[in-house]
Structure 1
């Protein structure tokens, strides 16, 4: 994390509130493969990255909550921390939802001050919202000495998003922010919550994100629709196979057998999820074998499924993936995140990164008349407290 970002947040906190805060770093995430599987009890393969949020948080001895969005230059104030409810300030709800989760566990949250800011691009599919939720959840856990385990903090942050932001996200984003490990991706079983780390050397294979610069308004409503379509498929299967609790338990053969009952759309949604779970498992085997070309083929297949069967891609994402396919040294490319805009994630041989960026930029500019933002990312560790010396460096 740039020291300047921590310094800026720390300085604003001290200027506004006049005392020394706790400093926390909370990373965004990429997901190499395993999209829309998390809320279906499946597998995902995320990593925490060096696009992060910095927090300065302190207990103020009163009942007031003061929230400051450093990047936006906006503030939010609540007179009584005990009376938290969703507000009309969109960004504040991610934080207020976390406070509500503490209160639901019988933990009284006193007044506190919070300044936060970061370099996670908003709406690019790098989970800026999860970084915001997890950063505050971690900070309050430290300040209140509540000793809550990291997995519980991930659940609290997820529930905050459900209840205060209205997005029925799975657990992956919050998990990745809290459990990230430097130089590793982590495969999470979203049903059992078992996880395993796999080394990923970003010097040997670069992770490059290309941002379409669009966020179609369909994203959140269609996200919730996809969840419902998957649930409909499971309901059909359960009538014939009571053991099927989620799409994680389903097979393609079972889906084929009951395709007529489901209808074509629900069948394709479910088939995508079952196939994507298989791709996460094979991608991990390729990672262990050091076979990045095979890993990349799983990524291309993932994108095709998201485009054709799950139908959450968009023309801008498809143009970027096709442009990547034409460049030497690109192992794989696919859309990442909820869809309908945001970023593609690309695995590129280091010596081809410049050529890749130039080539994809030219193709996108020719099609849409604008230059896509690109980000080279490094895999970092999860949420942590920072020494004050970082802000003073």
Structure 2
């Protein structure tokens, strides 16, 4: 993390005291499992966010976002949400939640950097609030666990900034690494590590960016989230006991009058997706790539036909992939950039798929990009002393 230390020094003419690296997180299966307290399979993204912090001797907070060369400032006596402050509100939110818990950080300089900041979206915003929370808690030596930091970050984003986010993602950012995926049980906030470092080398997880406009899918996804939340409130009222994720889908199909057809459709998809996330995790643990690929394709079919949140570009890319003999499965990843898909494909079939993607530009007017899935690694927290960084985690 030497680079952000130097960026911080050049901006504020002071050395950083704490540096934090927060990995991005992709949700591969179970993106909507929160509504049924089901299962989610996630892993580290290829990109990360870095945070550097140093103290000030006044009452102001000064912020610098490196990729955008954007600077913000505010006074600790005025941390109210202001729309015009944009991303500075995420830092205000962290301070506000800490204040509400009886912790009052003094003034500081803060630098944000990393490839994750080159994209917009919930994952980036989640990484910002978690990274800032960890930096403040570690520097000021607050007696808070990393899991408590995750709940503070979640509150800062979901309550102070009123943005849709998932506690599971904050917890995943604490625990992902470069050799495994995490299968989360949302009901109990526990996870199981699924090793992926010894899988078949001839099968490549390929990330394909459709390059559609960011708002193209996000608005529709936001609507579906709200509708799903309300549908599961109604479902819980009908089934007040037991785990809601265990409700048989057939019972929902056979209901008459209690739920609308749209509400039943949403509940059926979310319950099915959660169960497929669990099944996918188990298949990966058994190194069954063929079975895992089938699960990916089942989820994609549900997103397209039941949940109805895909688009022609996504449908085209997944269909072209599935037409190849060497493709095991493909699905949209809503925590990627807008319009990201995961394709599980044999190494020898990649060239043919790339050739097919050349048609995409002629049809839709923009060129997709692709790369094999690699993980950035795990969370790091370092204390900077006399020019050297000591890992505190």
- Correspondence 1:261-280 to 2 at 5 A: 261-280=258-277
CA contact (8 A) 1:82 1:109 kept: no
Report SS of the residue matched to 1:174: helix
Cα distance change of structure 1 residues 342 and 128 upon mapping to structure 2, 3 Å threshold: farther
Number of equivalenced pairs: 383
Cα distance change of structure 1 residues 259 and 103 upon mapping to structure 2, 3 Å threshold: farther
For residue 330 of structure 2, the aligned residue among 327, 333, 346 is: 333
CA contact (8 A) 1:57 1:112 kept: yes
CA contact (8 A) 1:183 1:380 kept: no
CA contact (8 A) 1:317 1:335 kept: yes
Q: Which moved more, 1:139-148 or 1:380-389?
A: 380-389
Distance in 2, Cα, partners of 1:220 & 1:167: 13
Instruction: Give the structure-2-normalised TM-score.
Output: 0.88
Instruction: Give the structure-1-normalised TM-score.
Output: 0.88
What residue in structure 2 maps to residue 187 of structure 1? Answer: 183
Distance in 1, Cα, partners of 2:288 & 2:275: 17
CA contact (8 A) 1:212 1:373 kept: yes
Cα distance change of structure 1 residues 101 and 266 upon mapping to structure 2, 3 Å threshold: same
- Correspondence 1:44-63 to 2 at 5 A: 44-63=40-59
Shift of 1:222: 4.0
Post-superposition, which runs of at least 4 consecutive aligned residues in structure 1 deviate over 6 A? none
Structure 1, unpaired ranges of 5+: none
Report SS of the residue matched to 1:35: coil
Distance in 2, Cα, partners of 1:354 & 1:288: 28
What residue in structure 1 maps to residue 62 of structure 2? Answer: 66
Q: Which moved more, 1:11-20 or 1:186-195?
A: 11-20
What residue in structure 2 maps to residue 308 of structure 1? Answer: 305
Cα distance change of structure 1 residues 37 and 160 upon mapping to structure 2, 3 Å threshold: same
Distance in 2, Cα, partners of 1:164 & 1:319: 39
Structure 2, unpaired ranges of 5+: none
For residue 138 of structure 1, the aligned residue among 134, 139, 157 is: 134
What residue in structure 1 maps to residue 208 of structure 2? Answer: 210
Shift of 1:230: 2.4
- Correspondence 1:238-317 to 2 at 5 A: 238-243=236-241, 247-258=244-255, 260-317=257-314
Shift of 1:161: 1.8
Cα distance change of structure 1 residues 297 and 125 upon mapping to structure 2, 3 Å threshold: farther
Distance in 1, Cα, partners of 2:200 & 2:81: 43
CA RMSD of aligned residues (A): 2.7
Q: Which moved more, 1:339-348 or 1:31-40?
A: 339-348
Deviations 1:68-102 (A, max 9, x none): 111111111002x2431222232222232222221
Distance in 2, Cα, partners of 1:352 & 1:345: 15
Distance in 2, Cα, partners of 1:17 & 1:167: 30
Shift of 1:319: 1.6
Distance in 1, Cα, partners of 2:120 & 2:7: 26
Distance in 1, Cα, partners of 2:236 & 2:30: 24
Shift of 1:244: 5.5
Cα distance change of structure 1 residues 330 and 63 upon mapping to structure 2, 3 Å threshold: farther
Distance in 1, Cα, partners of 2:256 & 2:182: 34
Shift of 1:352: 4.2
Distance in 1, Cα, partners of 2:204 & 2:98: 39
